[in-house]
Amino acid sequence: MKNITEALMWRYATKKFDTNKKLNDEALNQILEAGRLSPSSFGLQPWKFILVENTELRAKLREAGYDQAQITEASHVLIIASRNDLSEDYVDNYMKSTALAQNVTVDTLSEFKSYLMNTISSKPNAEVIKNWNARQVYISLGIMLETAALLEVDTCPMEGFENAKYDELLGLNELGYSSVVMLTLGYRDESDESLKRAKSRFGTEEIIIRK
């Protein structure tokens, strides 16, 4: 495994993937597991990870993704979707899952549930909740990007695609989720032009403020 700083310096938004190299199950599962274990506000995990392996579907995603090559050329394509709402049903399902993990009855979590429902209903409107959920998705994205880099797996995070079309193609509307961001995964083709460009980051003195 690479050192963290090395791994983050090594990673870049891969434009050209080596179409002959596939991720093995071990690496893929480790990245998905990192996504699954990601923290989120109140632990609500308002996300689904859609792994698309069907070739025809990937071709359609590319079409609705401004024809970006990675969508069909990367070893794997993952779309991260976030929940449209935080209904009481959803919270109850989360409470059940938590009770099971902690080996307690759901009743012992009633105070936590009330607190959570109050927090949710204090949000000014449905759009705020939707946005709140979408933000959490980016925590899992960051964690999967770092995990992939540590395993020397290349990635390209992509926001540029027709969200409504993706939701339709992936059947997300019926589930109450919306596509937020896509993560293509695989191995770089060493002829990728992007590889020639040095990483551009603001200096420490520019982005870190000490008070």
| Contact residues: a copy of itself, CB under 8 A | 1, 3-5, 8-9, 11, 13, 30, 32-34, 36-39, 41, 43, 45, 47-54, 57, 94, 97-98, 101-103, 131, 134-143, 145-147, 150-151, 157, 159, 170, 197-204, 207-211
Least distance to a copy of itself from the beta carbon of 12, Å? 8
Q: Which residues contact 82 (CB under 8 A, 6 or more apart)?
A: 46, 47, 130, 133, 134, 136, 137, 177, 178, 180
The single residue listed with the structure tokens 């909740």 is 129
Separation between Cα atoms, residue 58 and residue 22, nearest integer Å: 15
Least distance to a copy of itself from the beta carbon of 186, Å? 16
Least distance to a copy of itself from the beta carbon of 151, Å? 8
Tokens of 78: 């993952």
Residue number with CB closer to a copy of itself (190 or 203): 203
Least distance to a copy of itself from the beta carbon of 187, Å? 18
Q: Which residues contact 163 (CB under 8 A, 6 or more apart)?
A: 178, 179, 180
